[in-house]
Amino acid sequence: MAHMIIALALAISLQTAPRFDLLHVSDVHVEARARGSEAPESLRGQETFEWMAKTLAGESAQPDFVLATGDITEFGAPGDTWIDVERLFARFSVPWYPVPGNHDQTWNPIDRPYFARLDTLAEKLRAGRSYIVERDGWALLALNSASLFEPRPSFDPEEIEELEGLLARHAWNRPLLLAMHHPPDSKEFAQPHASRMLFSALDGYDVELLMYGHGHAVRHHRVFGVDCVQGGSTFASKGNDSRGFGRATLAEGTLRYAYRHFDTTKPESVLVDRKLHARPSSVPVLSVVIELATETEPTRLVVEWTPSAPEFGPDKASWRLLVDGDAIAEPGWKVAPCEDCDRYELPLDALRLGEGLRLVTLEVTRPDGRIRQRSVTTESSRFSSQPRGISGHPQFVPPPFYPHWFDVTGHLDHRVEPLFRDSIPGRPLRVGDTVYLGDDRGRMHAVESSEKDGTQAHRFLWSTSPIGMAIESAPALAGDLLVVGAWDGNVHAFDAKTGERRWSRPGPKSSDSLAARYYAPADCSPVVLGDRIYVCDRGYALAWYELDGTMHRLPFTDVAAIGASMDGAHLLLRGTEGALTRIDRDGAVVWRAEVPLGRAPVPPLEKNGVVHVVSDQGLWSRVDAKSGAVIATIPTSATAYVFARPIVHDDGRVEIRSQAGTKFLWSPSPDSAPAAPR
């Protein structure tokens, strides 16, 4: 279908030469303000905004709009924070367009005011939190790279897939601008191959410029041959003064991006000044697929150019094959017959991929230096994958932990969604017919979920007042206490029957730090062993709390997540540096296993005598629960981050979902005993 749309677009010539003029600002970091509190006399960066407005007022040519590439706020949009944001941008006489950053989405996501602004702008071409601005002869893709409740960036694979369809309809064969918060080649991404994932989706499009923020710097570089510019900041910090704005213009076929500094002693920085790339009359579509074995043919990697494009073949263009981002040698492509395309094949066995899920990418370098590419994941009989496994919410929790009114991706059933119309629900805890969960405003809810005569009924039992910052993790039940960590830096205890708050205490690390919110105990649920409540936090510290809130520190400083043992007497610690540790209630080490891990806040899971744990980049390890001996380690996600606990079924089957949207499925061999520990 996309090929038909593209072919139609190619048949339509543009009637007018494209032009644009837009202003680029980034990393504003408006401070949080409680609802009803007095507005500050001066906002962070206000001096820069006043200077920008005055500078533009003195110029004859005004920009079409202002583009803000993320970290618009410091801690999201609690209370009246967004009122202050709009106050700053009201200084411009033209509309402004937001792009989310990690600061906007971690503590108190900006979704409500963000979508309200897009409604005001009447931009309808949306996919999740990403959107397309379509203008005469050109288009802008504003791409969300900020994970929900998680500082590490990622692209939502469902958004990317939906955007491919929108781009085919509205951006083919015209200059395309990209805007996002994170550098496209950043090492921070929860998908180490994120840039390949993005540019694979953009393959064949005329991407002229990518604008981003995040680093508070003014910079130009190229990623896969595309000009990328970083847009500074609107305030000075830590000896870094990159205040100012960028101006991107296209006139008479010339693309220009210049950064004007608030410090007038610095000259204007011209980062891009060139003619648009030549636009060919025909752009062949590149596809890369894995065709499974038949009775006569082995499993093979297949590349097709449609229509035929001999100039892109491996004998004339520069081809490079990569597995999980690393270039590999390949024995040579075989030309295969194809009626309306050029087809090349390569036996998959020749790549010696080994077991587990892998990402195979083909890069083809064009004469202008830009790179065309497509990626595909591998699969086999015992290991398989499918695209589109999860939503953009990083804290996916599989059944049976979700109640029946959440689907497997964490989306609310449409019949229950009205209960949470004005909030983003966190991970739930179900006890009998009662479901406890927090939300992005920092409220805790108790919802009765029952069934009568085949009809589901849901009603709120109680809701607490908001604490201002999000509650994303599931609470834990300690007697009659409901205990949960939040992004305000505290551990909160509520009466499970009434919702009355019993106590609030700082988290293990935030209790001794001025940056409490940054080290909040928010993304891993507490674990209750007897009368002790164990908590770890983003500062990787560990402590246990008495039922009255008294805290006792434990001597561990690299704990990313915790889980309970099956016997209820031990704690499993996921270390940030590659150690899975089993301790008793007092902190004495029972065993320590060296397996690949990382800082993702995903707890270890013990079932049937085996501890399952998945590293940041999808390496799944099975460890003997009694001895700590490592049974096996297998790649499951083609290096994409895994923020989901594995699903371990009673029959031994395992499912693992990644931030790249893959679902890894594993089944024990029916004719062999479990692998012996090594």
Strand partners, 573: 562, 581
What pLDDT is recorded for position 151?
84
Provide the residue ranges of all domains of the chain, joining segments of one domain with +: 20-32+43-275, 285-367, 434-554, 558-678
Q: Which helix (H) or strand (E) holds 47?
A: helix 46-57
For domain 434-554, the CATH architecture is Beta Barrel (2.40)
What pLDDT is recorded for position 636?
86
Q: Which residue type sits at 214?
A: H
CA-wise closest residue to 312 among 361, 351, 367: 367
Q: Which residue has the tokens 């989310």?
A: 100
248 contacts: CB under 8 Å, gap ≥ 6: 20, 21, 22, 24, 177, 209, 211, 229, 255, 256, 257
Do residues 76 and 149 lie in contact, with contact meaning Cβ atoms separated by under 8 Å? no
SS percent in the chain: helix, strand, coil, step 5: 10, 35, 50
Q: Which residues of the chain have pLDDT under 70?
A: 1-16, 192, 354-356, 379-423, 454, 456, 513-515, 669-678
Render pLDDT for 318-364 as a digit per residue (tens, 0 to 9). Answer: 899 988 888 888 778 899 999 889 999 988 777 777 666 777 888 99
- Topology of domain 20-32+43-275, per CATH? Purple Acid Phosphatase; chain A, domain 2 (3.60.21)
Phi, psi of 229 (to 5 degrees): -130, 140
Cα(511)–Cα(504) distance, integer angstroms? 12
C-alpha torsion sign, points 615, 619, 620, 626: negative
Render pLDDT for 433-455 as a digit per residue (tens, 0 to 9). Answer: 888 988 888 999 998 877 777 67
**For the chain, what is the radius of gyration of the CA atoms?**
26
Q: What is the DSSP string of 612-651?
A: EEE-TT-EEEEEETTT--EEEEEE-STT----SPPEE-TT
Cα(396)–Cα(380) distance, integer angstroms? 25
CA-wise closest residue to 374 among 308, 301, 298: 301
Cα(492)–Cα(506) distance, integer angstroms? 9
Q: Which residue has the tokens 């899975």?
A: 580
Residue 564's alpha-carbon distances to 406, 433, 478, 567, in angstroms, are: 24, 23, 14, 8
pTM, full prediction: 0.82
What pLDDT is recorded for position 420?
62
**Mean pLDDT estimate for the chain:** 85
Cα(494)–Cα(530) distance, integer angstroms? 18
Do residues 137 and 174 lie in contact, with contact meaning Cβ atoms separated by under 8 Å? yes
Do residues 649 and 371 lie in contact, with contact meaning Cβ atoms separated by under 8 Å? no
CATH class belonging to 558-678: mainly beta
Cα(258)–Cα(272) distance, integer angstroms? 7
Cα(345)–Cα(629) distance, integer angstroms? 42
Q: Which residue type sits at 68?
A: A
Cα(357)–Cα(407) distance, integer angstroms? 25
φ/ψ bin of 51: left (φ > 0), alpha (ψ from -120 to 50), beta (otherwise)? alpha
Cα(398)–Cα(412) distance, integer angstroms? 13
The CB-based long-range contact list for 128-135 (8 Å cut-off, 24+ gap) reads 128/156, 128/158, 128/159, 128/162, 128/392, 129/100, 129/156, 129/159, 129/392, 130/156, 130/159, 130/163, 132/163, 132/166, 132/167, 132/170, 132/171, 133/97, 134/170, 134/171, 135/18, 135/20, 135/64
What pLDDT is recorded for position 304?
92
Cα(155)–Cα(151) distance, integer angstroms? 13
Do residues 566 and 607 lie in contact, with contact meaning Cβ atoms separated by under 8 Å? yes
